[in-house]
């Protein structure tokens, strides 16, 4: 029952994150999506992934919240409250198939002896490559900002 | 409950946002939702298979997610500072007709075209 409630909340908050006009409201809905995804992970015995999801989600949401507050314009006309309720109803309808339908992907016989830290250790080569990617992205971001400032000076 | 259908629903919502929303921040939120749908599929199927490899791989996939977010946010800041808009259709018009400083088409004319 808890899983179903979390799934419904997840679909509703994801739909509102896309539907709502105000950027701040969208980011707030995305925050609830991230929290519900983390709860879903922890209910499925993936506690470490849930912790990582929360940690990364909080960082992303903080940056998104700040940028939405600074950069977005206020919507010229507000959507009536009726439309928002209609959107919630549509999202509730969208969440029904995930509760009642099944595509038969629940395997019961497969198991593995590899533990989570062991698997993470086995993937350390990919980890190093991805860390390089993150550092390159940071360097690219700094280069873009510096280039922009140089252009402003000229 | 089926997680594949749940992640398909999230994917559909993300694609809906990508196709209908014009604000760059909304596009970023849609991309985040699509990434969440993909990672959810990964971790929940890995949990049901008792395979820790999928969960470990997901933690590495978070770093690429963060890179995408960083790049789109950098684009958002630059577009907002330089052109004063985050509307992707207006930015597309700018790419089509040249920059505002290029005097090929005025800003108001571009806005008329978009409207």
Alpha carbons A33 and B40: distance in angstroms, whole number: 12
Report yes or no on A107 lying in a domain.
no
B99 touches chain A (CB under 8 A): no
Question: Contact at 8 Å (CB) between A36 and A9?
Answer: yes
Output b/e per residue, B61-77; b: 16+ Cβ within 10 A: bbbebbbebbebbbbbb
The ipTM of this complex is: 0.78
Domain carrying residue A145? 114-154
Q: According to the model, what pLDDT value does residue B74 have?
A: 79
**pLDDT over threshold 90, residue B15:** yes
Alpha carbons B62 and B68: distance in angstroms, whole number: 10
Q: According to the model, what pLDDT value does residue A117 have?
A: 74
Q: Are residues B45 and B77 in the same domain?
A: yes
Alpha carbons B101 and B115: distance in angstroms, whole number: 21
> B24-48 and A2-19 are packed helices; what angle lies between their axes, rounded to 10 degrees?
160
Q: State chain A's maximal CA–CA distance in angstroms.
A: 67
Q: Are residues B29 and B75 in the same domain?
A: yes
Q: Across the interface, do B23 and A145 touch by the CB < 8 Å criterion?
A: no
Task: State pLDDT tens for residues A48-104.
Answer: 888 888 988 888 888 888 888 877 766 666 777 788 888 888 888 888 887 777 766
Q: Are residues A66 and A128 in the same domain?
A: no
CATH of the domain at B38: 1.10.287.3510
**10 Å Cβ neighbour count for A16?**
21
Mutant choice from A3, A67, A148 vs B, greatest count of B C-beta within 10 A: A67
Q: Are residues B79 and B94 in the same domain?
A: no
Report phi then psi at B38, rounded to 5.
Answer: -65, -45
B115: chain A residues, CB-CB within 8 Å: none
Domain carrying residue B52? 3-84
Q: Are residues B77 and B89 in the same domain?
A: no
pTM of the model: 0.79
Q: Are residues B51 and B95 in the same domain?
A: no
> B88-97 and B24-48 are packed helices; what angle lies between their axes, rounded to 10 degrees?
120
**pLDDT over threshold 70, residue A9:** yes
More confident residue, B34 or B106: B34
Tokens describing residue A40: 């879903």
Q: Are residues B23 and B50 in the same domain?
A: yes
DSSP type of residue A109: S
Number of domain units in chain A:
2
> Using 50, 70 and 90 to split pLDDT, how confident is the model at A111?
low
Q: According to the model, what pLDDT value does residue B80 have?
A: 79
More confident residue, B102 or B8: B8
More confident residue, B11 or A99: B11
Q: Are residues A97 and A25 in the same domain?
A: yes
A56: chain B residues, CB-CB within 8 Å: 62, 65-66
Strand partners, B87: B23
**pLDDT over threshold 60, residue A32:** yes
Q: Are residues B35 and B62 in the same domain?
A: yes
Instruction: Tell me the DSSP string of A4-22.
Output: HHHHHHHHHHHHHHHH-SS
């Amino acid at each position: 029952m808890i899983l179903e409630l979390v799934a419904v909340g997840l679909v509703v908050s994801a739909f509102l994150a896309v539907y709502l006009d105000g950027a701040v409201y969208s980011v707030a809905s995305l925050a609830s999506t991230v929290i519900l995804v983390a709860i879903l992970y922890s209910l499925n015995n993936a506690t470490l992934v849930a912790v990582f999801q929360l940690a990364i989600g909080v960082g992303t949401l903080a940056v998104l919240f700040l940028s939405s507050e600074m950069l977005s314009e206020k919507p010229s006309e507000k959507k009536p409250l009726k439309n928002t309720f209609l959107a919630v109803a549509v999202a509730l309808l969208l969440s029904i198939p995930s509760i009642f339908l099944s595509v038969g992907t629940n395997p019961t016989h497969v198991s593995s002896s590899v533990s989570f830290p062991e698997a993470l250790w086995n993937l350390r080569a990919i980890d190093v490559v991805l860390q390089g990617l993150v550092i390159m992205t940071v360097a690219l971001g700094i280069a873009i900002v510096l280039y922009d400032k140089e252009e402003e000076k000229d | 409950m089926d997680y594949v259908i749940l992640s398909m629903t999230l994917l559909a919502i993300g694609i809906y946002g990508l196709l209908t929303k014009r604000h760059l921040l909304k596009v970023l939120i849609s991309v985040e939702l699509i990434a969440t749908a993909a990672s959810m599929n990964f971790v929940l199927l890995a949990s049901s298979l008792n395979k820790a490899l999928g969960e470990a791989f997901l933690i590495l996939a978070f770093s690429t997610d963060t890179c995408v977010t960083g790049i789109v946010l950098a684009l958002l800041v630059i577009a907002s500072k330089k052109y004063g808009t985050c509307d992707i259709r207006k930015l597309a018009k700018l790419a089509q007709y040249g920059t505002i400083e290029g005097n090929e088409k005025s800003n108001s004319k571009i806005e008329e075209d978009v409207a």
